[in-house]
Amino acid sequence: GPKVLQIPSHQIIDMGQMVTLNCDPVSNHLYFYWYKQILGQQMEFLVNFYNGKVMEKSKLFKDQFSVERPDGSYFTLKIQPTALEDSAVYFCASSRGLVNTLYFGAGTRLSVL
């Protein structure tokens, strides 16, 4: 089936550093998402992105977070600076439309020390 690729699978950084999580969505999908999941808990919506713009963001999407997809390349989530509470698995997802199936990447496990 359609694949969403996430790079890297695991990232370990020191608190206060910047980190960029990369996502290669399904090629014909138009909507892109980031979710945060702390071990075995719920999928927490961060942000969705369409046509080069943020459509909606949650309270978890702090000022230190930003997303972009320059020139149709990777859809990225940047956290600058990172905090200890940012440690989690971050899932990227994409869909053809808002009312279509979301396909999730394998996730990036972020460990902030």
Partner 1 sequence: GEQVEQLPSILRVQEGSSASINCTYENSASNYFPWYKQEPGENPKLIIDIRSNMERKQTQGLIVLLDKKAKRFSLHITDTQPGDSAMYFCAASGNSNNRIFFGDGTQLVVKP
How far lies 110's CA from each of 73, 90, 113, in Å?
22, 7, 10
In a 13 Å sphere around the CA of 4, the CA atoms on its Cβ side amount to 26
For partner 1, the closer of residues 74 and 90 by Cβ is 90
Closest CB 88 distance from partner 1, rounded Å = 14
**Site for partner 1, rule CB under 8 A:** 33, 40-43, 45, 48, 55-56, 91, 95, 98-107
Q: Is the dihedral of CA 84, 81, 75, 23 positive or negative?
A: negative
For partner 1, the closer of residues 32 and 74 by Cβ is 32
Closest CB 111 distance from partner 1, rounded Å = 15
For partner 1, the closer of residues 31 and 74 by Cβ is 31
Measured distance CA(76)–CA(53) in Å, rounded: 13
Closest CB 105 distance from partner 1, rounded Å = 6
